[in-house]
Amino acid sequence: MGNMKNIIIIVVLVVILGAAFYFTRQYIGSNPGGFFGSSQTATISDETISLTIADTKEEREKGLSGRDSLGENEGMLFTFDNPGFYGFWMRDMSFPIDIIFMNDGTVITMYENVEPPEKGETLVIYKPEEPANQVLELNANRASGLGIQKGDEITLSL
C-alpha cells in the first residue's frame, strides 16, 4: 500500500512539473522579454527583430560589452529622452556589429561591420550626422541583409 502511495505522489509531481514547463515555454514564446523587464521588437523588411532595451545610463554604458554574440534576429536598442549627438564605441566588444542611428524610427546615420578594436588600439567614437534619440545595434552586415538604408523608417513596437 505504501508503494502505491509513493507512485501516485511521483506521478502527480511529474504532471505538475510538466504542466509548469509547458506553460512557462508558452509564456516566454509569446513574451520575448520573459518574466523580467520589457521587450520591444523592430519590424524590418517583414522580419521581426527581438530587441534588448538599453534606456538607463548604466545599460547604455554597458551595451553589448562582454557578450559573445547576438542571435540573427536579435539586436539592442538604445533610447534617449532627447535627440543628441550621442557617441558610441566598441569597448570590451568581441564581435563586429552594425550601428544604426535613428530619430523617432527614421535612419539618419549607419556604420556597418564595425570591428572591435585590437588590444591597446584607441577607441573610435561613432556619432550620428544629425541628432538622434535611438541607436540600433545588430550583427555585422545584418543591416545590408535587411536592406536598411539612410532615410528608412524602422517600425518599433512594445
Quote the percentage of the chain above a pLDDT of 70.
85
- 8 pLDDT more than 90: no
Q: Is the pLDDT of residue 30 over 50?
A: no
Listed residue (117, 111, 103) closest to 138, CA to CA: 111
Whole-structure pTM value: 0.74
- Give pLDDT, residue 6: 80
Instruction: Pick 130 or 1 by higher pLDDT.
Output: 130
Mean pLDDT, the chain, whole residue set? 86
Task: Evaluate if residue 21 carries a pLDDT over 70.
Answer: no
